[in-house]
Amino acid sequence: MTVRCRIAPSPTGPLHIGTARTALFNLLFARHEGGTFILRLEDTDVARSTAAYEADILSGLHWLGIDWDEGPAMGELAERGPFGPYRQMARLESYRAAVEGLLSRDQAYECFCSTEQLAADRASQEAAGQPPRYIGRCAHLTAEQRAQRRAEHPAPVIRFRIPAGRVGFHDLVRGDVSIDTSALGGDLVIVRSDGTPLYHFTVCVDDATMGISHVIRGEDHLSNTPKHILLFRALGAEVPAFAHLPLILNPDRTKMSKRKSQTAVADYIDQGYIREALINHLALLGWSSGTDDELFSFDDLVERFDLSRVQQGGAIFDRERLDWLNGQWIRRLSDVELVERSLPFLRASLVDAETDSSLPTADDLLPLVPLVRERLPRLDAMGPLVDFLFLDHLSIEPTLLVPKRWDAATTIDALTEARRIIAATGETVFEAEELEPPLRALAETRGWKAGDLFMAIRVALTGRTATPPLFDTMVALGYARTLERLDGARLILDPATSGT
Ligand code: GLU
């Protein structure tokens, strides 16, 4: 069988983590099976769909590397695939033709019930403790009655007849599912009175037309599937296989929602998560490899992915695991790649600091990469780690300068002595191996903990307590700036101190 699967996002919000996960599982399945991955925009909810959300979804998926074999145009990329257009609002003609087919076979009918009638039906069902369902008032009108109603009510909705009986299917994740159609709410509206088709209908017409073999989607759609199966049958189409993926949950097992959790993929990108880590993390939201391995590249995932190892229970979104994966994948980037990806973050943090110094270039950042690579949980950590090198004026918090076990006088003493030793090292041999031994010896002779001395120097040079290794930091700053900053720090603690 040729595998054809799809992601069918509605552009009614930014790209959601759940949509990205579903898209990824579809893509992995398609790649593993040598099949085709299709992207279709379900934009028939005109009031809530926007071009901006559409752009966010397409560019977010593309950024993640979740690219489609068939789908709509994006920026410079042209529409691809033989079943276009891949936007539902551009496919209205095909829904119209499908409705005509259903009407002509009496699998659908016009319904003239007014809003008031439907509300009254619902109220009496509620009073009787029954679930709401359409009572079928218009289901069996004679041709004459229909003509009469049409004259009074020229804009009917179209309902699809839900036949009596049970619908069963084998879900590739959840196993056998069976439901009595009496629980489906009665005959289903598939076209609104303004002529626009509704989701359940368009999704089936498109899946049928596009030859979708596997519908892999979130568990929230499980209850829709019986309706879809009935629609596929009525359309004379082959019913695809279904796989419903578990919900994504917060660590407290509540549903991951926009209000409570960070759900927009763009926010993760803005915080410096990299695509390798996000893909790895998304893959583990409901799928496991069956081994203890945790790091998976996209290619590893393609090789191993299998719907039979998708779990039924909710998948916990564990931010700590994502952070860990991100650090791991950052370590695996080449120097050049890490520079390219982190430079925008560094530049943004310097712009935030309103520095008048010139912004660093890739060449400025490249030599620092070996010093910071292991210290980057996210790309946005680059700024705080190395920004001191690019700031003309360091603003130092005086309380940070004095180590916990020390007072200001000891700190001034220590910085003065350190300055003397560093100055004596001289500009020509200003290297980490030359700087470290005499400063360690200083701590020892004065009975200071080396950690305290180094922390005072670190804050004096960088304004921060977490930096690249201290002696490398000095070398990166250079001889003159190192001495200048030590002087500056002494002045902060004791404005009476003069240079040297
Ligand atoms: N447009 C639907 C959604 O965004 C697609 C559902 C489906 O995959 O069938 O939820």
Sign of CA dihedral 385, 391, 397, 402: positive
**Which of 216, 217, 222, 239 best tests ligand 1's pocket when mutated (most atoms within 8 Å of CB)?**
217
Q: How many domains does the chain have?
A: 4
Query: Does any domain span residue 329?
Result: no
Express each pLDDT in 325-376 by its tens digit: 999 999 999 999 999 999 999 999 998 776 666 789 999 999 999 999 999 9
Distance between Cα 103 and ligand 1 center (Å):
25
Residue 500: predicted pLDDT? 47
Phi, psi (rounded to 5 degrees) for 196 = -85, 135
Q: What is the CATH number of the domain that holds 201?
A: 3.40.50.620
Among the candidates 212, 245, 278, a domain finishes at 245
Query: Does any domain span residue 85?
Result: no
Query: Does any domain span residue 356?
Result: yes
Hey, what are 101's tokens? 């087919």
Distance between Cα 227 and ligand 1 center (Å):
14
Distance between Cα 40 and ligand 1 center (Å):
10
Express each pLDDT in 408-432 by its tens digit: 999 999 999 999 999 999 999 999 9
Hey, what are 449's tokens? 């903990």
SS3 for 51? helix
Q: What is the CATH number of the domain that holds 481?
A: 1.10.10.350
Give the residue, by CA position, lying nearest to ligand 1 atom 6: 8
Query: Are 169 and 274 in the same domain?
Result: no
Query: Are 459 and 423 in the same domain?
Result: yes
Query: Are 240 and 253 in the same domain?
Result: no
Catalytic residues: 258
Give the residue, by CA position, lying nearest to ligand 1 atom 3: 9
**Which of 199, 201, 263 best tests ligand 1's pocket when mutated (most atoms within 8 Å of CB)?**
199
Neighbour tally for 74: CB within 10 Å: 19
Among the candidates 271, 290, 319, a domain finishes at 319
Residue 43: predicted pLDDT? 95
Query: Are 218 and 274 in the same domain?
Result: no
Nearest-CA neighbor of 353 among 394, 298, 296?
Answer: 394
Query: Are 373 and 404 in the same domain?
Result: no
Q: What is the pLDDT averaged over residues 288-309?
A: 96
Residue 357: predicted pLDDT? 66
Q: Of all helices (H) and strands (E), which one includes residue 214?
A: strand 214-218
| Exposed e or buried b per residue across 245-270, where buried means at least 16 C-beta atoms within 10 angstroms of its C-beta | bbbbbbeeeeebeeeebebbbeebbe
| Exposed e or buried b per residue across 471-481, where buried means at least 16 C-beta atoms within 10 angstroms of its C-beta | bbbbbbbebeb
Does the pLDDT at position 159 exceed 80?
A: yes
Residue 355: predicted pLDDT? 62
Mean of all residue pLDDT scores within the chain: 95
HSE-CB at 356 with a 13 A cutoff on CA atoms is 1
> For residue 257, what pLDDT band results from cuts at 50, 70 and 90?
confident
Express each pLDDT in 32-86 by its tens digit: 999 999 999 999 999 999 999 999 999 999 999 999 999 999 988 999 999 999 9
Query: Are 385 and 407 in the same domain?
Result: no
Query: Are 309 and 240 in the same domain?
Result: no
Distance between Cα 124 and ligand 1 center (Å):
32
Strand partners, 70: 38
Residue 447 CB partners (closer than 8 Å, separation 6+)? none
- Residue 188 structural domain: 91-245
Query: Are 431 and 479 in the same domain?
Result: yes
Query: Are 435 and 457 in the same domain?
Result: yes
Query: Does any domain span residue 355?
Result: yes
Residue 498: predicted pLDDT? 52
